[in-house]
Structure 1
Amino acid sequence: MFINFKNIISTIVTVFTVTMFFSCESNFKAIQKLNQKTFTPSGQADTINLVYTDSGKVKAILVSPKMIDYGSLENPYTEFPKGIKLTIFDDKNNKSYVDADYAVSYKKTNLIDLQGNVKITSYDNKILETAQLYYDQKNEWFFTEKHFKYYDAQGDFLQGPGVDFSKDFSIFNMQKSNGEVNNIDE
């Protein structure tokens, strides 16, 4: 009888331990769900055509099939999952164009991340193409570590990994490049 009592106690302890294990697992999953942050957008728009003006002058026109705003997060951002077409006007009303398959604008850092078939065409027919390009809005500066191709109106061609440049292409820094430059200003 003493052996049976020992077996019963052992069985009760085993059942209790298994029950506690499964109930803890269930509670753990519930706690994990509570701690997960949900990225619920604070706003969405389809087929947007945004005109940015400053002092009565048009500075930029942004066209996108979809915009999702996550402005209520700790690090707010706006996403353009179906790409953008941006027209930028300089002080002389010259137009330059930026196209990308995807874009996200981070509000705290003032960085814009352009991805997928990124193409910039300046008003004077300079073209830069790459897979990903960042734009620092505060410093008006573009940069990438990805492979790029650059063409200008005179037929000059450069390519390579990594480049950074000013928004008007007046300053152009390359890490490693190759290409053909025919017209060098002295």
Structure 2
Amino acid sequence: MKRTFKNTINFIVTIFIVTMLFSCETSLKDVQKFNQSSFVPSGEADSINLKYTDSGKIKSILKSAKMLDYSNIKNAFTEFPNGLTVTMFDENGNTTIIKANYAISYKKTDIIDLQGDVVINSHDGKKLETNQLYFDQKNEWFFTEKTFKYTDEAGGFLQGPGVDFSKDFKVFNMQKSSGEVNNLN
């Protein structure tokens, strides 16, 4: 009976140790997996109101409910998960207002990807609407392959897939479009 009792105790202890080792190994693997796939911002801001100035003049104002900064990764970017509103000023103080439900700005390329109900309103009544629009900050150029609708101050409109244009709407290139132009100046 002593031998059986001793065998039973050894068996229970062995099972306990094996269970502990497997439990620790699983936890260790989970921690390693978490560290590999962890994707957290290096900075986070709520209710931002950022003013960009050049030579003492305000060039643009960016407002957003939330900003996430991922400058701690190889291809750094800034994300605006709750959308943004940007007011741009030209040399005469005229404004162009850009709104989007979501945006991401890539630091290496200086490209901003605007998504979800993107609307641009210029001071002179021009309006562009689309679901996605890119802005090349270096060249001050907008472009998209998505369907767009452009309306002007005279009530004319253009629509279709794919457009690119300068930030002041002076140069406007379309792939395929249809519409009605009321005023050709």
TM-score scaled by length of structure 1: 0.81
Per the alignment, residue 65 of structure 2 pairs with: 65
Per the alignment, residue 33 of structure 2 pairs with: 33
Q: Measure the CA separation in 1 of the matches of 2:37 and 2:59.
A: 36
Q: Work out the percentage of aligned pairs sharing the same amino acid.
A: 65
Q: Measure the CA separation in 1 of the matches of 2:114 and 2:82.
A: 11
Residue 79 of structure 1 aligns to which amino acid in structure 2?
A: E
Give the secondary-structure state (helix, strand or coil) at the position aligned to 1:99.
strand
Residue 58 of structure 1 aligns to which amino acid in structure 2?
A: I
Per the alignment, residue 174 of structure 1 pairs with: 174
Per the alignment, residue 75 of structure 1 pairs with: 75
Give the secondary-structure state (helix, strand or coil) at the position aligned to 1:176.
coil
Query: Displacement, 1:35?
Result: 7.6
Give the secondary-structure state (helix, strand or coil) at the position aligned to 1:75.
coil
Q: Measure the CA separation in 1 of the matches of 2:146 and 2:104.
A: 17
Does 2:90 correspond to 1:90? Answer: yes
Residue 82 of structure 1 aligns to which amino acid in structure 2?
A: N
Gaps of 5+ in 1: 1-21
Does 2:155 correspond to 1:155? Answer: yes
Per the alignment, residue 42 of structure 2 pairs with: 42
Does 2:143 correspond to 1:116? Answer: no
Give the secondary-structure state (helix, strand or coil) at the position aligned to 1:36.
helix
Q: Measure the CA separation in 2 of the matches of 1:68 and 1:109.
A: 18
Q: 4+ residue runs of structure 1 moved beyond 3 angstroms?
A: 29-32
Query: Displacement, 1:38?
Result: 2.2
**Cα–Cα, structure 1 residues 60 and 126, in superposed 2: closer, same or farther, change >3 Å?**
same
Query: Displacement, 1:34?
Result: 7.2
Q: Measure the CA separation in 1 of the matches of 2:178 and 2:91.
A: 33
Alignment RMSD (CA, Å): 2.1
Q: Measure the CA separation in 2 of the matches of 1:82 and 1:91.
A: 30
